[in-house]
Structures are given as structure tokens and as C-alpha cells.
Chains A and B, each alone.
Chain A
Amino acid sequence: MAEFQTHEHDVIVIGAGGAGLRAAIEASSAGVSVGLICKSLLGKAHTVMAEGGMAAAMANVDDRDSWKVHFADTMRGGQYLNNWRMAELHAQQAPDRVRELEAWGAVFDRTKDGKILQRNFGGHRYPRLAHVGDRTGLEMIRTLQDHGIHQGITVYMEHTVAGLLKDGNRVSGAIGYDREKGVLRVFRAKAVVLATGGVGRAFKITSNSWEYTGDGHSLAYEAGADLVDMEFVQFHPTGMVWPPSVRGILVTEGVRGEGGVLRNKDGKRFMFDDIPDNYKPQTADNPEEGWRYTQGDKSARRPPELLTRDHVARCINREVKAGRGSPHGGVFLDIAWIKEKISNAPEHIKKLPSMYHQFKQLADLDITTTPMEVGPTTHYIMGGVKVDGETQMSTVPGLFAAGEVAGGLHGANRLGGNSLSDLLVFGKLAGEHAAKYAKANGAGQVHQDQVDAAAKALLAPFERGANAESPYKVQYDLQDNMQALVGIVRKEDEMLKALDVIEGLKKRAGTVGVAGNREYNPGWHTAFDLGNLLTCAEAIARAAVARKESRGGHFREDFPNKDEKGFGTFNHVIRKGPDGKMQLVQVPLTPMPQHLKDAIEQEKK
């Protein structure tokens, strides 16, 4: 039997990005003991990468905005598969969460009258994103971190959670290990909050960091929880494409919000050619009007570059496939052109300082004079752990989820800016209800057989040793497979092939070995990550095969249209069947109350 150390908390939060930190702060303020488990160092989570801002209908810039408009925008972006209760709570509570962040020390950009400034973003009707230049995520995580360290939370840095422990139906803790020493650790807890983010590392081209291996999705699945909407993966339209080593790194939508335009190799603004009908009334039909919109003219409609991410990504894909792309297989994103319009263009562009430096340092390119080359990159998964809209509890009692790992809020496609506000709103709710659950239910039993089984699986790669297959090789093969066969444009036969490949990779993942010892061993971690990546990859592919229509982030070449009467009426739910195999079921959408239907109708006008 493996040796391990035991820790005990009322609530453990797995993941320390925006959602995890916010959940930990809330649970702690409810008076329970909280353990916060970070995969990396505190403050390094993927939230730091968020650039554009957090969406909240504060109406500081345009007083026509309200939570109802934000709600309607979110539902339309999600193509109405969203959990409407989550979309409602999100739109209602986001302004308070942003203001609270300021009361904890965040320093937002300001309007002329000294309020928090808000910027335009794709799919949002009014300027709605509270921001700090193009480093809003850093501001958010640092504010939560600096506030959180004074709240009596126990932080476990560089710890990885390998499995959830259960007592009957309910959750009773987790098992994992610390990276520095490789010591196995058991966390006994009355409630567990998953805040582990997404699964971009299942794809080859991604804006996501190494941590994004679908840990929470997989932990929840193995613990018997339902996953929802897993077919919906967001490919952000603008990632860097050159040089090769930076392929996938995000170029914020803020560039387009500030006046940047997309052109093909012939210099044509191709986005004007393909504006979906349901967005036509609100989209500019000429460059002049689009420009005025980015400069704050309230009578102008938004340029087509600011249509939803799924649509822009597909348009770019189409240009590249038609041979109208840039030299390195992307298209041009041009912000330098605004010098034709304003005299202080370089200063204006440097309102996006991170982008300026990113291109200057990594691509040797000055964005104030030269267009960038950009192309789609795997960015976000809308699908995730199915939760109750009010409490964020999953279908497993005592197990909560918030942020990207949770599904529901974004439906088939997430609007930019709705992620950071998601982290705050639902991080808070998850923390609050996890604390409540812990107080009401006490501790469950930790069963030794579960601990031993998890420990054995975790240590198995060492038994197989360095001569077995390298975990890196299996990971690369999975990434190639998902990128090529379950990517931005999908087809039945390709995805069925992908599922075959995944079966083969699962077998290989069981044979990988690692060299060295348990102390800070990245090879070991990669071996462990494989299981999570493969579970998520299979869930994505299965749900994508089953959804025989195109909607939001999910585009089927063989079924290019939306099917409102059929697939528009239910979500796909994935769970582990009694035979240990992955099961997929259709769950009808819950009928929406009249006042929310009215809010949506109002905004269609």
C-alpha cells in the first residue's frame, strides 16, 4: 500500500483561477475551513491569459444597457441551448461582482466621468466589458489572489488531483499528489468545488496552457456526474499563426473592438460577404459605419468583424481553404490602417500594450505599422459538468463546479467577455452553496479501497519504467487526431475515425512509462494527464457525432444547417454507464419562463 498524507477541510476547491479563487473566498467568508488546490503556483492559472474584459451590464458607457439585454445577447450567442437560469443569474449579478472586485483593489480603466470604462466586444449589443487595457485577466486573478491570501484559506500550490473519493452517492474528498516531493495526499472534505478550467490541450493548436487537460471534466465523469454540451468547443478566430512555435497564442478580440479589420490576401474585408440573417439588423453593411461604431458612435452598427467567434472563425477558415489566406495559412488582422482615420494611431494601438509587445517580441512585427497574420485556435469548451443553475451542484451530491469546467451558461457558443464574469458570478455561488452543503451534511467516509486504487493507478507509469512508450508521444498523437478530425469543420466519417483512434490511444496510454523519480517529474504528470485528455476527447467526439446539425461552435460540413425543431430542443448529456462505457442521452430543454422569453423577443427587434 502506498504512503500518503491526509488533510481535512470542510470544503476543498480544485483549481485556483478566477472561479476557484472566488469560490474559496466565498466559502471561507461563510465560516468553513477551505483548502484551495492549485495545479501551478498561486496566481499563474489560465485566467491570467484573459485579455479583453469581463462583461457586465453596468451601463456606464451606454445607458441603454441592462441585464435583460445582456441575457438576450448571451442566449442568442449560445443559440438558445443555454441553461437560461444561469444566463439570467449571470446577467443580473455580474455588475455587482465587478464592483466588488474594485472594492478589493482592482484598478480598472475609467470613463471621462470617472466610472469603470466598458468596451465593445463581439455579440454584445452595447459596450459592456470592464477592462484594464488588454490584461484584464491578470488584474482579476491578482486582485482575487491578493484578497484571498488574507481570508484564512489553506493553499496547496503545485498539487495535482487524481481522483474524487465517494461515500455512497456523495463526494467525500479527493486524492492527489504534490509536485515538489511527489507525496500522495488525501483530502477529506464535506464538499468539493471543481474549478479546473478547460481542455484545450486535447488539440494541437490552442491558446490554452499545459494545465488545460480537462481534469475537472474527467474527475466529475469518473465520479458519476453528468457532462453537458461537450460537442461545443470554441475556436477563437484570431490566434497567432507565425512563427510556428507561437501558433495558437491568442490575439485579443479587443484588437477588432478598437478598429482592427480582417482582410484576405487580396486586401478584401471578407467579413462583409457573410453576415448571418439574425445579426443583419445590428451589423454595419459598410466600412464607414463599422469604423464609427468602434469609435463610440451610438447610432452606428457594429462591424462584421465583431460577429460571434464561431462565425468569424469559420469565415477565416473558408478564406484560407479557398486559397485567399496569408502566406502562413491565416488571414490578415490589420489595426495599423486606422492611421488613415486618426492622427495619433500608434498611441491608440498601444492601448493594447500586451498585443503590441507579444508581436514585437515573438514575431518581430510592429502592429502599429504592419498587419498581423491570424487564424483560428482552440480556446474554450462551452460544455462541462452539468450543474443546477441556482447552486452549481452537479448531479453528484456535494460536488460543485464553476467556471469553464461547468456547462450550461454559454450553450452552443460563448460570447467574449462572458467568461471572466462567469468565473466571478458562479465561483461565488459555488463557494456559497458548497459551504452550505458542508454545514448541512457533515463529513462522508473515506474508503481505503478507493484511495489504494487511485494511488496504484497514479504510480503505475513508474513500474513500467523508461523503456515503455513515452507519454509525450501519445499526447502528440491525440492532439493531431483531434485537430484534424474533430476540429472547426466536422464530418461524420472523420469523427468516427477519430473515435477509433481514441480507442487505440487509450490502450497505449495504459502502457506508457516514465523515468526518474517522483520529485517534480513532468513526464509523470504527462502520463497522468493522458487519461483526462482522452476522456474529454471521447466525450467531445461522441457528442459531436450525435449532433447532426450545425450550431454555435459545432459546425458539420455534412449537416450545415440548424435544426430548430429537432436538435434545437435538447442538450446532449454524457455519463459513465453501469458497464463502465460512455453513455450519451438527449435531455430536453427546460421551458423558459415568460419574462425571459419577452426579454429575448424585445432584443430581436
Chain B
Amino acid sequence: MSKATFSVWRGDKSGGKLVDYTTEVSEGMVVLDAVHQIQAESANDMAVRWNCKAGKCGSCSAEINGMPKLMCMTRLNTLDLSKPVTIEPMRAFPSIRDLVTDVSWNFRVKKTIKKFKPRKPDAPDGTWRVQNEDIERPQEMRKCIECFLCQDVCHVLRDHQKHEEFIGPRFLVYTAALEMNPIDDDDRVDDLKFKHNIGFCNITKCCTKVCPEHITITDNAIIPLKERVVDRHYDPLKKLLKVFGPK
């Protein structure tokens, strides 16, 4: 058994600071284990959000040594324990307390996206016929566990605070899953351009890098959506046709 020190951000929206805690570490431990141990030993009231502890629910997002990660999937043997490990809350969202942030904005944004609307069923019993090849993309997007790490790292949100204008990578992935679903019949392309400002994304791929589900957010979700927007609104031939073409 050896010991390691963790600098955990303690505070609330009025401010806070890193507080050092030293605790025993053992083989296979993840950051969330260390936080729980500290909580049980010396900081009963340390606020942390977690549920499944298996990388499936996306609750325990935090910034570990400055990197956005799930605490439950970050093994201590991947970190340098010779110096304190910093654990801070996600910085793109307002603080509630300690490691817990107010992510309610995400839930409001989702409601503004047109919901799934099925096309007419293929079979008389009201079911659809779909091939596996046609759902690979939407299934990739639907792996999302809503940890919001992509939102945390997106500079449009984190640095420019465009929360009121831009929906962020998570909801571009959500929109992509709907748009690419072979059973869905609705159209969200105009919304992407005018309401959700997909143009703000300049494809720095930071979101893709931090995704714990390894969704290729930029390449497989955002760029295809941008292409649809471009096809409809920026195609020069179509523009000419609109102006001079038959009414």
C-alpha cells in the first residue's frame, strides 16, 4: 500500500480553492475510488456526482490534472502520483458545490431540437425494415452517455460562453443521430443553421478527443451535418437557380 495526494477543488459559485487530501491507494483504483475514500475518511460532505462507476451513465465528469475525464474510468496508474493529482469540476458550467456543476442548460437545449418523427411503417403490423449497414452511424451517435465532457471542452462554450446561441457538440451528435436514423422523417437542417448555429464550430476536434465513448464527433456527426447545411444554403448553382430559375 502506498499513499497519494489529491488536490480537490472545494467551493461553490461564490468561489473556492484546491484542498489537499492524502489517502492510501491500491492496485486498480480509479480516481473516483480515491474521491470516495477521501469522502468517507475525512470529508463526509464533499460533493461529487456519480452513479454507475462503470463508464455507462456519464455522471462523474471532471477535470483531472486539467484533462476532462470520467473519474470512474481514470485509473490511478495512468497518472503521475509523485505529485498531487488535481481534481476540478467541469469549467464550462456553473458550480453548484465542490465537484458538482449545474448542467441543467444541457437539458433545456435538448428540448429545443425537433424530436424523433417516424415515417410511415414498412409492414402492415406497424414495423419498419432496416438494414444493419444503415444504422451504423446513428448507433455510433447513440452510444453517447451525456457526460457533457465534449461541451466542457468546446471553446465556443468554454471560452466564448455562447450557451444561448450554440448547442454544442453533444447536441450536434444528438441531431446527427436523428437526421441519420433511417426511420426518422423530420428535417432539422434549417434549425442547425439558423437556430443552433452549427457554423460556430470550427472543427478543432477537441470534443472528439475527450469523448469517453470514442464517438468520432467531428468527422462522423458535425461535418456531415455541416455538409447538409452547405448543400441547402450555400450551393452556388442552387442559389443562381433560386434567383433566375423558373418560379
Using an 8 Å CB-CB cutoff, how does the interface string of A130-154 with B read, 1 for contact, 0 for none? 0011010111001000110110000
* A281, CB-defined interface residue at 8 Å: no
Distance to closest chain A CB from B160 (angstroms):
25
* A contact residues, range: 35 or more
Residue from B48, B103, B144 within 8 A of A522 (CB atoms): B48
| Those of B143-169 within 8 Å (CB) of chain A | 143-146
What separation, in Å, do the CA atoms of A48 and B96 have in the docked complex?
25
Docked complex Cα distance between A150 and B116 (Å): 10
Q: Of A139, A146, A471, which is within 8 A of B110 by CB?
A: A146
Flag B101-142 by CB within 8 Å of A: 1 or 0 each: 011100100110001101000100111111110010011001
Minimum Cβ distance to chain B for residue A213 (Å)? 13
23 contacts between A and B (CB under 8 A): A40-B51, A41-B49, A41-B103, A41-B107, A48-B52, A48-B57, A49-B57, A102-B183, A103-B126, A105-B183, A243-B27, A243-B28, A243-B29, A245-B29, A246-B30, A246-B53, A361-B73, A361-B75, A514-B45, A519-B12, A519-B96, A522-B46, A523-B44
Stretch at the interface among A79-87, A110-118, A447-455, A484-492: A110-118
Q: A245-B29, A472-B44, A515-B45 in contact; A114/B129 too (CB < 8 A)?
A: yes
The answer to the question of A211 belonging to the interface, with a C-beta cut-off of 8 Å to chain B, is: yes
Query: Known: A103-B118, A362-B30. Is A42-B107 also a contact (CB below 8 A)?
Result: yes
Please tell me if B193 contacts chain A, counting CB pairs below 8 Å.
no
Given contacts A48-B57, A102-B183, A516-B44, 8 further A-B contacts (CB under 8 A): A46-B51, A135-B56, A146-B110, A157-B104, A243-B28, A246-B54, A473-B40, A523-B39
* Least CB separation from A109: chain B residue: B132
Indicate if A107 sits at the interface (CB-CB under 8 A).
yes
User: Does any Cβ of A come within 8 Å of B196's Cβ?
Assistant: no
Distance, CA A241 to CA B45, complexed state (A): 30
Question: From A143, which residue of chain B is reached at the shortest CB distance?
Answer: B116
- Please determine whether A358 and B54 come into contact, CB atoms closer than 8 angstroms: yes
Is B100 interfacial (CB 8 A cutoff)? yes
For the complex, what is the distance from the CA of A41 to the CA of B127, rounded to whole Å? 32
List, in ascending order, chain B residues with CB within 8 A of A361's CB: 55, 73, 75
Q: Is B206 an interface residue (CB 8 A)?
A: no
- Nearest A residue to B33 via CB reads A245
B54 A49 Cβ-Cβ under 8 A: yes
Q: Which A residues lie at the B interface, using CB under 8 A?
A: 40-46, 48-49, 99, 102-105, 107, 109-110, 113-116, 132-133, 135, 137-139, 142, 146-147, 149-150, 155, 157, 180, 209-211, 242-246, 249-250, 354, 357-358, 361-364, 466, 470-473, 476, 514-517, 519-524, 526
Contact B145 A521 (CB under 8 A): no
Query: Does B188 have its Cβ within 8 Å of any Cβ on chain A?
Result: no
In the complex, which of the residues A110, A155, A209 contacts B53, with contact meaning CB atoms closer than 8 Å?
A: A209
User: Which residues of A are found within 8 Å of B45, using beta-carbon distances?
Assistant: 514-517, 521-524
Residue among A354, A364, A520, A523 facing the most chain B CB atoms (10 A cut-off): A520
For A139, the chain B residues whose CB sits under 8 A away are 142
The answer on a CB contact under 8 Å between B52 and A43 is no
Interface residue SS majority, chain B: loop
Please indicate the chain A residues that have their CB under 8 angstroms from the CB of B28 in the complex. 242-246, 362-363
CA distance A501 to B107 in the complex (A): 44
Q: Is the CB of A105 within 8 A of B54?
A: no
Name the contact of B181 in the complex, choosing from A107, A249, A250 (C-beta under 8 A).
Answer: A107
What is the CA–CA distance of A515 and B42 in the complex, to the nearest angstrom? 11
- Chain B hits for A245, CB < 8 A: 26, 28-30, 33
> Which residues on the A side are within 8 Å of B115 (C-beta)?
105, 146-147, 150
Determine if A115 and B129 form an interchain contact, defined as CB atoms under 8 angstroms apart. yes
Distance of B60 from chain A, by nearest CB (Å) = 10
- Of all chain A residues, the one with the shortest Cβ separation from B118 is A103
B75 pairs with A105, CB closer than 8 A: no
Which among A476, A515, A519 has the greatest number of chain B C-beta atoms within 10 A? A519
Q: A150-B111, A245-B28 are in contact. Are A104 and B116 (CB under 8 A)?
A: yes
Contact A210 B51 (CB under 8 A): yes
Q: Is the CB of B138 within 8 A of A354?
A: no
Flag if A520 contacts B145 (CB, 8 Å). Answer: no
The residues of A that contact B125 with a CB separation of less than 8 Å are: 99
Q: Mark B88-107, 1 if CB is under 8 A from A, else 0.
A: 00000000111010111001
What residues on B are CB-neighbors of A105 within 8 Å?
A: 115-116, 118, 178, 181, 183-184
The reply to whether the CB of B47 lies closer than 8 angstroms to some CB of chain A is yes
**Least distance between B64 CB and chain A CB atoms (Å):** 14
- Distance in angstroms from B232 CB to nearest chain A CB is 24
* Smallest CB gap from A353: residue in B: B143
Contact with A along B50-84 (1 / 0, CB 8 A): 11111111110000000000000101000000000
B28 (CB) vs chain A CBs: closest residue: A243
Question: Given the complex, which residues of B lie within 8 Å of A362, measured CB to CB?
Answer: 28, 30, 54-55, 73, 75
A524-B107 Cα distance, complex, nearest whole Å: 26
Residues of B within 8 A of A102 (CB): 127-128, 183
The residues of A that contact B59 with a CB separation of less than 8 Å are: 40-41, 44
